[in-house]
Amino acid sequence: MPTNAVVDRLARELAEAASTAIPIPQLTSSQDIDVDEAYAIQRAVVEHRYARGERPAGVKLGFTSAAKMTQMGVSDAIIGRLTDGMQVTDGGVLRLAGFVHPRVEPELAFRLHTPVDPDSPAAEPAAMVDAVAPALEVIDSRYRDFRFSLPDVIADNTSAAAFVVGPWVAWEQCPDLGNLGVRLEIDGALTDTGSTAAILGHPARAVSAALRLARHYRIALPAGSIILAGAATAAHPLRPGTTVDVTVAELGRASLSAKGDSDA
Ligand code: OOG
Ligand code: MG
């Protein structure tokens, strides 16, 4: 069981790797860390962002699809924290300074219109969401070779690095989200396709899962919080100088352009 001092040191190492772009060895290569301890490290990692003035923006789920679980060799859904500093405007530029080996994946975003208090009893998830949008998530493991165990990736804030949310569609106007086609294009070339059904069988389940995990790990979700539901396909390398688009059938599209350190 790592002491508080060890939790702080491991969190600092992860936070540093996220700004120097120098990956670190897996924490579990030298420590015994269980899932609860990993969430304590995650909380401390995100405190580094808050200390720089970033604000909580919501949460993200990981490993909600068979494709991702297989790609990463894990078997459990996980939750991470999003901040406003990670959000890129739709169609905007993401600077890759500080990123180690970023990957991009198509997702759905939900927006909560009711705050979720970790102490209050669970409400009906559908009643808590007021809008849905196509989204892209950029993940970037702070571990060498993008390899980790489950506690490692939880401690690393589930590889959260950046995200884009496309135009919100009001919940009442939403199509059934159960099986919508998802297209990921990089520089206009179709790179991957999938279905929203890949997200826990139906992405609405991601809302329940996020609320359950947020309660369990005591993550407060104020009204307006974003929930990224998890990837609909595997993640793809995000190279500087490229533009990525996601299209979710009947819902819309979202995009970002990645720039390297030296790109204008
Ligand atoms: C962890 C993050 C996974 C998703 O949508 O499944 C994730 C990782 O693969 O590095 O964001
Ligand atoms: Mg993701």
Which pLDDT tens digit goes with each residue over 25-56? 999 999 999 999 999 999 999 999 999 999 99
Model confidence, pTM: 0.96
Give the closest residue (by CA) to ligand 1 atom 4: 62
Which residue from 72, 139, 164 has its CB within 8 A of the most atoms of ligand 1, so it is best to mutate? 139
Q: Is the dihedral of CA 134, 54, 80, 66 positive or negative?
A: positive
Ligand 1 atom closest to Cα of residue 235: 9
Q: Using a 6 Å cutoff on CB, does residue 233 contact ligand 1?
A: no
pLDDT exceeds 80 at position 98: yes
Q: Alpha-carbon distance 119 to 234, whole Å? A: 35
So what's the pLDDT on residue 264? 61
Q: Ligand 1 centroid to 158 CA: how many Å?
A: 6
pLDDT exceeds 90 at position 73: no
Which residue from 45, 72, 140, 147 has its CB within 8 A of the most atoms of ligand 1, so it is best to mutate? 72
Q: Is the dihedral of CA 99, 101, 106, 109 positive or negative?
A: negative
CB atoms under 10 Å from CB of 213, counted, come to 17
Please report which confidence band the pLDDT of residue 187 belongs to, taking 50, 70 and 90 as the band edges.
very high
So what's the pLDDT on residue 180? 98
Q: Using a 6 Å cutoff on CB, does residue 134 contact ligand 1?
A: no
Please report which confidence band the pLDDT of residue 121 belongs to, taking 50, 70 and 90 as the band edges.
low
Closest CA to 101 of 4, 225, 238, 231: 238
pLDDT exceeds 90 at position 256: yes
In tens, the pLDDT along 162-179 reads: 999 999 999 999 999 999
Closest CA to 129 of 205, 54, 55, 196: 205
Ligand 1 atom closest to Cα of residue 228: 5
Percent of the chain as helix, strand, coil, to the nearest 5: 30, 30, 35
User: Which residues in 140-164 are b (16+ Cβ under 10 Å) and which e?
Assistant: bbbbbebebbbbbbbbbbbbbbbbb
Give the closest residue (by CA) to ligand 1 atom 11: 62
Average pLDDT over residues 93-121: 91
Q: Alpha-carbon distance 122 to 134, whole Å? A: 26
So what's the pLDDT on residue 119? 73
Q: Using a 6 Å cutoff on CB, does residue 153 contact ligand 1?
A: yes
Between the two ends of the chain, the Cα-to-Cα distance in Å is 47
Q: Ligand 1 centroid to 30 CA: how many Å?
A: 23
Average pLDDT over residues 189-209: 94
| Contact by Cβ (8 Å): 130, 107 | no
Tokens of 142: 């702070």
| Average pLDDT in the chain | 94
Average pLDDT over residues 76-82: 92
User: Which residues in 94-117 are b (16+ Cβ under 10 Å) and which e?
Assistant: bebeebbbbbbbbbbbbbbeeebe
Give the closest residue (by CA) to ligand 1 atom 9: 72
pLDDT exceeds 80 at position 189: yes
Residue with tokens 């993008």: 146
The torsion of the CA quartet 70, 74, 75, 81, rounded to 10 degrees, works out to -110
Average pLDDT over residues 203-228: 93
